[in-house]
Structures are given as C-alpha cells and as structure tokens.
C-alpha cells in the first residue's frame, strides 16, 4: 500500500485546475440524455442521480483527479483496516466494522473487534428476544411494552431518526412492531416531564446511552427518571430493574448494579457514527426485532462496499462528496439542504445535520494547521412537500443558491392509499418532487420579474422503490461515507469534536461557582443561575 500523504485542498493540482474550468449552466446542460448518463446504482436498490448538479465531463474528470491526489480510497481502506484516523484523540474509526468486514481484521489488545461488535449484537438480540417473549419483565411482573431511550447528540438523533423512519414500515408488517419508543435528550426538565407524562412505569424499559458514562444531560435524566419512578410510589416497583445501559466497558456506567443489563461499544465508534452500533441497535431491536435491525446493517454494509469503488462514476458517496466540495470551494455555496420526499424521514435531516456539521465544521487541518478555505457547509432540511409550503420560496427566489439533496421513493411504506383527482397521494408526492427538480434547474422567465425564476439552482436525487430497513441503512451509510470522503478532501479530522469542549468547561465553572469571569457571571445572573 502506498504511503498516505495528507495535504490541504488548496495545495492540490486538481483544485487549482477546477477553479479555472467553465461553470455549468443547467438551463442548457440539463437534458434527457444527461438524466440517463449522470446516474449510478447505489446499495440496496437505490439510485444516485446528479444530472441537475453543476458539473460536466471536464469538471468530473478533474474531480476524479482530486480524489486520486487526496488518496481518498486508500485512506478509506486504511480507516477500515484499523489505522488511527482520528489523530486528535489517537483513535481508530471503526463504525464500518459494525456492519461487516471490509478488509483485514482489526485486532486491539488481542481482541478482534468485529467479533466484539457481533458479540454485543448477539447479547442485545437475546436480551430483546427475552423481553419480547416475556421472560424478562418489569419489576412488578408486567411485560415491557415501551422503551425509552435516554441519550443526547449521537445517542439520540441517529437512533431517533431511524426509529421514526421505520415506524410505518413496522406497523405495516404484522408482528414487526414489538414495542413503542419514546426519547429523552435535553437537560431541560420539561423534556423528561413531558416524555414521562402518562407513561406506565411498570411496563417501561429505559435505555441509558452514553459512551463515556459521564454525559451530563444523560446522567441527570437518569436520576430524574429514577426520582419520578420513586415518586409514583408503585408497590413493588424497583426502578433499577427498568434500566439498561449502553456504554463503553471502561465507563463508570458499565456493569453497575444500577442496571438490569449493559451492552458495550468502544472508543472507536464516534457518537454521530454510532446509529448502527448498540447505541441504535438496542433500541431498534427492542422496538422492531433483530431481523429488521440486521436488514439496516445489511444495507449499510452494501453501501460501505460500494464506497470502495475506485471509479467515481460507480461510487455514489465519493461522487456526492466531490460535487459537494466543488459547490463549497469553487462555487462558494455556504449551505446545503436535504429534502426527503418521505414523511418517515422527518428527523433524518436533523441526524445529517449533526453528522455533517460536527464532522467537517472545522477550521484547522488534520495536523492542526489553519485552513485558508471553507470546510463543511451549514446543512438543514425538512420533508417535502412540507418544505414547499415553508422555505422553498427562499430556495427558488432568494439571493443565494442552495444546493439541494432530494430523496424520493416510488412506493409508500403503508399500503393504504387513495385515488383523488385520478391519482394516488403517493403519485402526487412524487410528481411534486419531479416538478421541483426541474423548476429549480430550469426556472421560468416572466414579464413580471416578481414571478420570474432564475433557475440554474442545483440539486441531486437519491431514489428507490421504497424506504425499507435495507434502503434506510444504505442511505445512512451513504451520508456517513460522503462526509468521510469530504473530510479527506478537505484534510480535516472528521472524527473529533473539540469545538464542544469550551462550553462544557464554562458550564461546569458556572455550576461550581468557580472563579467566574464577570461576563459569564452577568449572563448567569440574568438567566437566574446565580
């Protein structure tokens, strides 16, 4: 294997070339032929279509050079093979290994980590089966029917997005919906109070999720839930027997008697990359069963494999990443929107917002050098058609173009649909999506400038037959891999998050009343803290 070299984007030959290439105008570029040509299969039956993005043959050729120059595939292989790809924290980056073996085995302190992850999955699968079968029950003897995830950030957004994405799917498949889920994330007591309102504690199982076992919000909410359960004064109720933990083996939460059981991850699974680990797996297996969770892993693994492909025209995550860098650093677009035409994906953009912005919202290179170019964009989004009646006005006629990432499906999750005005609701949904892509790309001139659309607003489209566990897993991994590739292109460490530390330190100083800066004290005072 060639030695890996790390260089900043602006020191590559390809980047200098890219800036000099003629820009693409979609008014003339977007043709039927291009829609067929700028399309490639993804994992799990999905398709990536980039016909409406502002690239052409010349730009794509230089983007391929850029990928080669930045050695993105070799870096991905190194990452999957267990090299330290999170240098700031001196850690491996192994979320791909949760889904399958991509290359050589990864052994740490004599432990094969693929085996370790699978062991944990086996453990929580058996636990979930015992819960579903009724051999593990609440402390008063009632079966567990509701699962409540207590976690924040990566321990909340990804698992919640996946849970919501499959709620209708599970409800439409007899026997697939095993438990209802709720979530507590915020340290705001109104979050826990509202989530616990009306909850039957006797049939509720809480999952405490914190890799470090020290997350302030999560530990506070654990105490909060315990206090609420005690305050309910239910005869025979033992709150600790309603709590399980997902944490690392070395954390203070591990193997404590405070939990009915504990399931483990390790330091090589970053929070925002942990949805396919026990962090998401315990919840999803309890809620929907192990077969469904396995299908997510299968789709994700397939996407991980497709990301190993060297030809950018056959590697959707790499192509998506490269075009995103072109949009950010050549076209200078500061934002991007993810717009799923699928109500089930309602919180998927919130997950991607963390995934993308926390990974690549960095100003220094991997080696700590200040960067002279923009890195990760601001990412936001809501499902269509809802967004059409909200912020699309700005996307169509605002002063700044926003590259759009559409997602759509040919079938709904629920079979029930209705023909009105001669077509089903699903057909209306998909027709809206097709119309939007073209409206953004081609625009429309009008004698009244207020009714004119400039067009040439770029978008890509990921589509498939249906949002299933497999295609959801593939979608999740596609974005994880896209973000990873962009990190390699920008030469940043996509796997640390030092930017969250200062707030934690200052908060702790306020709460301890410890040598407070007068400015902090002034804010703490108006907020009623001190």
- Enumerate the active-site residues: 358, 389, 504
One of 40, 192, 279, 475 touching its own copies (CB under 8 A): 192
199 sits near its own copies (criterion: CB under 8 A): no
Number of residues that bind its own copies (CB under 8 A): 154
425 sits near its own copies (criterion: CB under 8 A): yes
427 sits near its own copies (criterion: CB under 8 A): yes
Which tokens is 280 given?
């998401």
Cα distance between residue 25 and residue 31, in whole Å: 12
Residues 111-170 that bind its own copies (CB under 8 A): 152-154, 156-157, 167-168
One of 5, 58, 193, 200 touching its own copies (CB under 8 A): 193
Residue 463: C-alpha distances to residues 167, 340, 352, 430 (Å): 20, 10, 17, 10
148: which strand partners? 182, 206
Residue of 52, 56, 62 lying closest to 9 (CA atoms): 62
414 sits near its own copies (criterion: CB under 8 A): yes
Positive/negative CA dihedral, 125, 128, 134, 137: positive
One of 228, 240, 248, 330 touching its own copies (CB under 8 A): 228
**Shortest Cβ 433–its own copies spacing (Å):** 6
Residues 172-191 that bind its own copies (CB under 8 A): 185-191
Q: Which is nearer to its own copies, 113 or 243 (CB)?
A: 243
Residues 323-352 that bind its own copies (CB under 8 A): 334-335, 341-344, 350
Residues 32-51 that bind its own copies (CB under 8 A): 32, 35-36, 39, 47, 49
Positive/negative CA dihedral, 341, 344, 346, 350: negative
Cα distance between residue 317 and residue 39, in whole Å: 13
The DSSP annotation for 305-356 comes to HHTT-SSGGG-HHHHHHHHHHHHHHTS---EEEEEES-GGGTTHHHHHHHHH
Residues 477-496 that bind its own copies (CB under 8 A): 493, 496
Q: Which is nearer to its own copies, 127 or 206 (CB)?
A: 206
Residues 267-286 that bind its own copies (CB under 8 A): 271
Q: Which stretch binds its own copies (CB under 8 A): 7-15, 307-315, 426-434, 471-479?
A: 426-434
Cα distance between residue 386 and residue 392, in whole Å: 9
Torsion angle of alpha carbons 36, 382, 377, 267, nearest 10°? -100
Residue 185 CB neighbour total at 10 angstroms: 21
**Shortest Cβ 6–its own copies spacing (Å):** 14
- Three state DSSP letters for 362-384: CCECCCCCECCCCCCCEEECCCC
424 sits near its own copies (criterion: CB under 8 A): yes
String of contacts with its own copies for each residue 443-472, x by CB under 8 A? xx---xxxxxxx------x-x---------
């Amino acid at each position: 294997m060639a030695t890996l070299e790390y260089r900043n984007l602006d020191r590559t030959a390809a980047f200098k070339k890219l800036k000099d290439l003629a820009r693409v105008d979609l008014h003339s570029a977007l043709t039927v032929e291009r829609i067929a040509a700028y399309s490639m299969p993804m994992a799990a039956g999905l398709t990536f279509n980039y016909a409406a993005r502002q690239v052409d043959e010349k730009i794509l050729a230089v983007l391929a050079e850029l990928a080669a120059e930045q050695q993105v595939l070799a870096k991905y292989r190194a990452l999957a093979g267990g090299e330290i790809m999170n240098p700031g924290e001196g850690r491996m980056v192994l979320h791909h290994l949760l889904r399958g073996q991509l290359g050589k085995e990864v052994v740490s302190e004599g432990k094969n980590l693929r085996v370790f992850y699978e062991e944990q999955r086996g453990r929580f699968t058996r636990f979930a089966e015992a819960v579903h079968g009724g051999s593990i029950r609440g402390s008063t003897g009632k079966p567990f029917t509701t699962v409540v995830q207590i976690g924040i950030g990566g321990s909340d957004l990804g698992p919640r997005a996946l849970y919501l994405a499959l709620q209708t799917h599970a409800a439409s498949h007899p026997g697939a919906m095993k438990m209802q889920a709720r979530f507590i994330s915020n340290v705001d007591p109104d979050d826990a109070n509202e989530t616990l309102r009306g909850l039957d504690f006797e049939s509720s199982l809480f999952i405490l999720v914190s890799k470090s076992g020290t997350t302030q919000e999560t530990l506070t909410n654990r105490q909060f839930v315990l206090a609420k359960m005690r305050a309910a004064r239910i005869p025979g109720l033992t709150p600790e027997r309603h709590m399980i933990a997902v944490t690392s083996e070395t954390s203070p939460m591990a193997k404590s008697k405070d939990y009915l059981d504990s399931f483990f991850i390790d330091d090589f699974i970053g929070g925002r990359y942990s949805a396919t680990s026990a962090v998401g797996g315990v919840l999803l297996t309890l809620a929907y069963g192990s077969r469904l969770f396995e299908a997510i892993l299968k789709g994700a693994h397939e996407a991980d494999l497709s990301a190993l492909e060297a030809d950018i025209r056959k590697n959707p995550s790499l192509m998506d990443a490269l075009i995103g860098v072109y949009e950010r650093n050549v076209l200078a677009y500061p934002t991007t929107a993810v717009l799923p035409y699928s109500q089930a994906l309602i919180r998927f953009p919130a997950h991607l917002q963390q995934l993308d912005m926390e990974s690549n919202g960095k100003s220094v290179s991997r080696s700590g050098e200040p960067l002279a170019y923009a890195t990760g964009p601001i990412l936001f989004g809501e499902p269509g058609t809802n967004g059409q009646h909200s912020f699309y006005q700005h996307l169509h006629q605002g002063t700044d173009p926003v590259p759009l990432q559409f997602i759509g499906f040919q079938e709904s999750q629920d079979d029930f649909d209705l023909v009105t005005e001669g077509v089903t609701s699903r057909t209306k949904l998909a027709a809206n999506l097709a119309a939007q892509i073209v409206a953004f790309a081609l625009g429309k001139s009008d004698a009244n400038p207020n009714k004119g659309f400039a067009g040439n607003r770029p978008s890509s489209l990921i589509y498939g037959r249906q949002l299933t566990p497999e295609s959801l897993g593939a979608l999740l991994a596609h974005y994880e891999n896209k973000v990873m590739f962009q990190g390699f292109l920008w030469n940043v460490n996509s796997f640390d998050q030092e930017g969250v530390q200062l707030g934690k330190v200052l908060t702790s100083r306020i709460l301890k009343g410890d040598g407070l800066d007068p400015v902090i004290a002034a804010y703490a005072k108006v907020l009623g803290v001190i």
